[in-house]
Chain A
């Protein structure tokens, strides 16, 4: 709805004379900064515990179609250590196939309500972070699936996801759903519904309220499968902010009104940036 509003503005502005030019960034934009980016999101429901560590590069002049960003930016020689409140430590080895430092969840237990600590060593630089797994996850999910013609006059499937807010605490939720297509063996092809800002939910409207989010997916994709997995995660506030800022930065690229958001950071250590956070996830399988 608000997009129409922006289109009106854009139309008005463009109808007046305007133009666009390429500008030399030299001396205008900071280009010497280099950071170590560390991101790790852990949950008792995950099969693996993982962390991804990368470097940064100056944005201007980089390729637009960038299929080699992982090879170029992933830091492969870091020493990654995870520990719990009892002092139990485990090293996360690097895996070339998915560019992650990871271990199976069976090797180290992640428990609701507990604190965890991450230590990363990159070329003699030390970075530290801690997180706390939310104590509760939501109990049940209900859904309503319907058909609709969207604003682009395309037929879409709409899934409305409802759940009850966890009471007596401030909560931040991430909501999603995807169409599952089972290929040979165990591999699953996922086609996500687009929840737009409905992906991000808080209990600001009232403690214990029924939360409701709506996602859409093109109807034509429901040809050979009708299996939908619905997911609702109760996440730490910093993780909610990280995902929200990432979403908004993607949405608002080039917007004259909304500037880029500086992502949150809980990595301690000079030149470190990123988020180490916990969450609990609830999933529901639906077949139409």
Chain B
């Protein structure tokens, strides 16, 4: 309670002091101000006349008689005053609606002023995040936040401001800082395809300079340049190439971070949590990269502003849309096509962005399907965003995402018909308001909606009996979130805020209609509130030592069950040598919502459920130690992190208690999810190494992870500890992007992973089904013996490795559009990586793809390999 009151006091103090004296008239621009060889007093009188602002003087001095000349166009009053008083002993301040010019005190204490503003991309006016704003004379700097805002409070004086960001021309600007100065800067992108070729004195956020651990920022250009499976650029698959982030089965977008399961990843799209990030059984993620501005991943050392999941935060921001001109691109691939359109609704003030994608296998296959027996599948995505700038201090963002997978089947027979439809997908919508209270305090307030829904409809008609089966499950989130960033001086960045979400879970909604029986309906709902408040400070204690400490208080309420948790977060960085830092971190996380899944690959049968009085929240504690080294001006950086994570009350299905049996989705009506789950413990520990090169013609990284992940559930594996399915001991990834020239980009990635763990039957005994008097009537399976195992994950698969290569040809068309042909080879040396193993107990293989000894009369262990050498081509036109 004390912590809450301290937090409240801090909030009120900051808020009450937030209103600056009105100095906005200083920004009024004067079209042309030209004075030649007149005294300063006369010049100021002219300015007074032109601006209609009274200028007063304190004291008398000969300096006012000094002759001066000035010729400026479209400059603000503030800029003109700064120019006129430059190199004098005078300065000015604003008193109500007047300007007072007074003599600077000779022995006065050095005053500090705040330089603040937004960094944008010229042309599109897109806010740039993570841009370095650096004062070389003082050796201090900062980075823009997620909305392109920066603030630096420094002693007054004359400085050179260096603004740098990879892919943009570095800006050097002389400033004479005498008052709080708003300064927004537009950055110019380097020429297309050369954005990373020229090695300049670019200053990027160096690994040794950040206090936090376990953060990786992904460049969207990397996503676009790397080889793409079937031409589909995929953000999540690129993330899988980073150390500490592991993939699931072949080609899927499942993300396993430091031994966590996929539901332990908080995937945020423009502040809205995304519950199902995959399409087509996890083969593709919902993020295709075209409309995405930035991606950052937190694996450990979590800032207090994030919570609600145990293992990672993947923060994805969409572009705001071009405010200057209409632009876009379309992409044609083997599987799908996509388009992006962005432009101004009102120039420089309101912009929009639309990004859509759809697969077309269903449309192509339709004419070839037999009449009366048709099946079809497609997925589609649509992103839509509007950004409106009210003024420099107030901005509004409205971001929306809609995505759906759709499967349809129709069977018509003489006297019967069977129609089925399965749909699943997400909708998110976020309304955000950025407000800058003053030069040091920035806020972002969001209203968030997120929805995931899975729905099955099935209608069978047979002579006089009609059965209709309808089931659905899902989650609706209605959230409010407000975050503040307070930058009192370059040594502190204080962030605090509150978040509240109303979760409306529908584990099962069921309707069964059958001729002759009363309709059966079941509607299970779980409503809960999740609240959190946090405060964190990034504190530069000395030049060598910095700390990021914070605390998050989270609360979850379901009916009369209330969970309250304190989540301390702490990171420490010690810069022992120039460009080399040792780091340590600790974080505690709570997760109140859970995913029940058999696969972790985003199957529609996955079910999100709430903590209840029976199902406790999942808890994790993670400690990490690491070292970060930057190699001066080479663009190389090296990081090493060792971590230990312990997880409590992690959740799993009991043995064989799948919520829905995949082969017959109607079987879900027989299962109550709460009775069929078990909770247990998890352990994950390991080391990650990352050598990265971010400058020059050749960029990329080499990553290695050594790790182990274990689980223990009372109701699984006879209560014994076992290796998790996705426990891979060694992971290596080598990624390279080579921008040969303006017309060609080459890229490749090689990855090696230890094998997955599988549960396979290793024993057989006689078939006992016949001991029960009711025969199954099933024609599947071996009748004479039962195959089974008593140990979970009893089989270690073979290692996985592959090399993907890609080449892109770029060309500017006559209409100045940019055309790109991309050719990719997935698994270019054709390694037979395991997708799954099975025991063949028939002389016909599961896939009918053979194996060398068809006709063998003995049971064999078989490996099924998918995606052995997959070429693809895609075409993109950017206009």
Whether a CB of chain B sits under 8 angstroms from the CB of A95 is no
* A260-B761 contact, Cβ under 8 Å, with A14-B849, A18-B865, A215-B777: yes
Whether a CB of chain A sits under 8 angstroms from the CB of B94 is no
Q: Are A33 and B762 in contact (CB under 8 A)?
A: yes
Contacting residues, chain A, for B718 (C-beta < 8 A): 265
Whether a CB of chain B sits under 8 angstroms from the CB of A281 is yes
Cα–Cα, bound, A58→B789 (Å): 10
Q: Are A256 and B835 in contact (CB under 8 A)?
A: yes
C-beta contact mask, A249-283 vs B, less than 8 Å → 1, else 0?
A: 11111111111111111000000011000010100
Whether a CB of chain B sits under 8 angstroms from the CB of A222 is no
* A262-B792 contact, Cβ under 8 Å, with A18-B866, A151-B418: yes
Q: Are B791 and A20 in contact (CB under 8 A)?
A: no
Binds A, one of B35-43, B257-265, B516-524, B552-560: B516-524
Residue of B522, B671, B774 touching A176 (CB-CB under 8 A): B774
Q: Are A196 and B415 in contact (CB under 8 A)?
A: no
Contacting residues, chain A, for B717 (C-beta < 8 A): 262
Residue of B716, B832, B857, B859 touching A60 (CB-CB under 8 A): B859
Cα–Cα, bound, A253→B789 (Å): 13
Q: Are B763 and A210 in contact (CB under 8 A)?
A: no
Q: Are B789 and A195 in contact (CB under 8 A)?
A: no
* A13-B866 contact, Cβ under 8 Å, with A210-B518, A212-B514: yes
Q: Are A248 and B661 in contact (CB under 8 A)?
A: yes
Cα–Cα, bound, A245→B657 (Å): 9
Q: How far is the CB of B348 from chain A (nearest CB, A)?
A: 46
Interface size (B, Cβ < 8 Å)?
123
Residue of A30, A39, A244, A281 touching B791 (CB-CB under 8 A): A30
Q: Are B777 and A22 in contact (CB under 8 A)?
A: no
Whether a CB of chain A sits under 8 angstroms from the CB of B422 is yes
Q: Are B771 and A63 in contact (CB under 8 A)?
A: no
Contacting residues, chain A, for B864 (C-beta < 8 A): 18-20, 256
Contacting residues, chain B, for A21 (C-beta < 8 A): 832, 851-852, 862-863, 865
Contacting residues, chain A, for B462 (C-beta < 8 A): 146, 148, 158
Contacting residues, chain A, for B870 (C-beta < 8 A): 16-17
Contacting residues, chain A, for B598 (C-beta < 8 A): 257-259
How many pairs of residues, A versus B, come closer than 8 Å at their CB atoms?
353
Binds A, one of B112-120, B154-162, B405-413: B405-413
Cα–Cα, bound, A193→B310 (Å): 48
Whether a CB of chain B sits under 8 angstroms from the CB of A93 is no
* A19-B420 contact, Cβ under 8 Å, with A9-B281, A259-B758: no
Q: How far is the CB of B865 from chain A (nearest CB, A)?
A: 5
Contacting residues, chain A, for B869 (C-beta < 8 A): 17
Cα–Cα, bound, A257→B577 (Å): 51
Cα–Cα, bound, A273→B464 (Å): 47
Whether a CB of chain B sits under 8 angstroms from the CB of A204 is yes
Q: Are B465 and A20 in contact (CB under 8 A)?
A: no
Contacting residues, chain B, for A178 (C-beta < 8 A): 775, 777
* A259-B759 contact, Cβ under 8 Å, with A52-B766, A151-B411, A212-B514: yes
In chain A, residues 57-109, which have Cβ atoms closer than 8 Å to a Cβ of chain B?
57-67, 69-70, 73-74, 99
Contacting residues, chain A, for B671 (C-beta < 8 A): 202, 204
Q: Are B832 and A176 in contact (CB under 8 A)?
A: no
Residue of A4, A174, A210 touching B375 (CB-CB under 8 A): A4
Binds A, one of B325-333, B634-642, B836-844: B836-844
* A201-B670 contact, Cβ under 8 Å, with A64-B859, A193-B777, A256-B836: yes
Q: Are A200 and B667 in contact (CB under 8 A)?
A: yes
Q: How far is the CB of B234 from chain A (nearest CB, A)?
A: 16
* A60-B861 contact, Cβ under 8 Å, with A5-B409, A19-B868: yes
Q: Are B835 and A209 in contact (CB under 8 A)?
A: no
Q: Are A60 and B789 in contact (CB under 8 A)?
A: no
Contacting residues, chain B, for A258 (C-beta < 8 A): 598, 658, 662-663
Residue of B670, B774, B868 touching A18 (CB-CB under 8 A): B868
Q: Are A197 and B663 in contact (CB under 8 A)?
A: yes
Contacting residues, chain A, for B377 (C-beta < 8 A): 8, 12
* A16-B866 contact, Cβ under 8 Å, with A64-B859, A192-B777: yes
Residue of A30, A149, A199, A251 touching B781 (CB-CB under 8 A): A251
In chain B, residues 417-466, which have Cβ atoms closer than 8 Å to a Cβ of chain A?
418, 420, 422, 458, 462-465
Residue of A60, A69, A149, A204 touching B784 (CB-CB under 8 A): A69
In chain B, residues 243-257, which have Cβ atoms closer than 8 Å to a Cβ of chain A?
249
Q: Are A248 and B656 in contact (CB under 8 A)?
A: yes
Contacting residues, chain A, for B6 (C-beta < 8 A): none
Centre residue among A8, A9, A202, A263 by max chain B CB count within 10 A: A8
Main secondary structure of the interface of A (DSSP, over half): mixed
Cα–Cα, bound, A19→B281 (Å): 20
Whether a CB of chain A sits under 8 angstroms from the CB of B814 is no
Q: Are B667 and A197 in contact (CB under 8 A)?
A: yes
Cα–Cα, bound, A204→B456 (Å): 18
Whether a CB of chain B sits under 8 angstroms from the CB of A41 is yes
Whether a CB of chain B sits under 8 angstroms from the CB of A190 is yes
Whether a CB of chain A sits under 8 angstroms from the CB of B666 is yes
Interface size (A, Cβ < 8 Å)?
121
Q: Are B841 and A64 in contact (CB under 8 A)?
A: yes
In chain A, residues 211-225, which have Cβ atoms closer than 8 Å to a Cβ of chain B?
212, 214-215, 217
Cα–Cα, bound, A149→B138 (Å): 84
Instruction: Please name the residue on chain A nearest to B795 by beta carbon.
Output: A29
Cα–Cα, bound, A130→B799 (Å): 45
* A23-B852 contact, Cβ under 8 Å, with A35-B763, A52-B768, A149-B416: no
Whether a CB of chain B sits under 8 angstroms from the CB of A2 is yes
Q: Are B773 and A281 in contact (CB under 8 A)?
A: yes
Contacting residues, chain A, for B422 (C-beta < 8 A): 2, 5
Contacting residues, chain A, for B599 (C-beta < 8 A): 257
Q: Are B866 and A23 in contact (CB under 8 A)?
A: no
* A20-B850 contact, Cβ under 8 Å, with A148-B416, A204-B670: yes
* A247-B776 contact, Cβ under 8 Å, with A22-B860, A57-B764, A204-B671: yes
Q: Are B852 and A22 in contact (CB under 8 A)?
A: yes
Q: Are A206 and B522 in contact (CB under 8 A)?
A: yes
Q: Are B762 and A30 in contact (CB under 8 A)?
A: yes
C-beta contact mask, B750-785 vs A, less than 8 Å → 1, else 0?
A: 000000001111111111110111111111111011
Cα–Cα, bound, A116→B706 (Å): 52
Whether a CB of chain B sits under 8 angstroms from the CB of A228 is no
C-beta contact mask, B188-212 vs A, less than 8 Å → 1, else 0?
A: 0000000000000000000000000
Whether a CB of chain A sits under 8 angstroms from the CB of B180 is no
Cα–Cα, bound, A35→B837 (Å): 24
Whether a CB of chain B sits under 8 angstroms from the CB of A137 is no
Instruction: Please name the residue on chain A nearest to B249 by beta carbon.
Output: A256
Cα–Cα, bound, A57→B765 (Å): 7
Instruction: Please name the residue on chain B nearest to A160 by beta carbon.
Output: B465
Q: Are A175 and B774 in contact (CB under 8 A)?
A: yes
Residue of A24, A33, A202, A248 touching B790 (CB-CB under 8 A): A33
Give 18 new A-B contacts, CB below 8 A, not counting A2-B665, A178-B777. A5-B409, A20-B851, A22-B861, A23-B798, A23-B861, A59-B859, A60-B859, A60-B861, A74-B766, A148-B462, A149-B416, A175-B774, A192-B776, A197-B661, A197-B667, A217-B777, A244-B656, A257-B599
Residues of B whose CB lies within 8 Å of any CB of A are 249, 280-281, 361, 373, 375, 377, 407, 409, 411, 413-416, 418, 420, 422, 458, 462-465, 467, 510, 512, 514, 516-518, 520, 522, 598-599, 601, 603, 655-656, 658, 661-667, 669-672, 716-718, 758-769, 771-782, 784-792, 794-798, 832, 835-843, 845-847, 849-853, 856-870
19 A-B contacts, Cβ less than 8 Å apart? A4-B409, A5-B422, A18-B835, A19-B868, A20-B863, A21-B832, A28-B795, A70-B766, A149-B415, A158-B462, A176-B775, A212-B517, A233-B773, A247-B776, A251-B780, A254-B836, A257-B603, A260-B787, A263-B788
Residues of A whose CB lies within 8 Å of any CB of B are 1-10, 12-14, 16-25, 28-31, 33, 35, 37, 39-41, 43, 46, 50, 52, 54-67, 69-70, 73-74, 99, 144, 146-149, 151, 153, 158, 160, 162, 174-176, 178, 190, 192-197, 199-202, 204-206, 209-210, 212, 214-215, 217, 231, 233, 239, 241, 243-265, 273-274, 279, 281
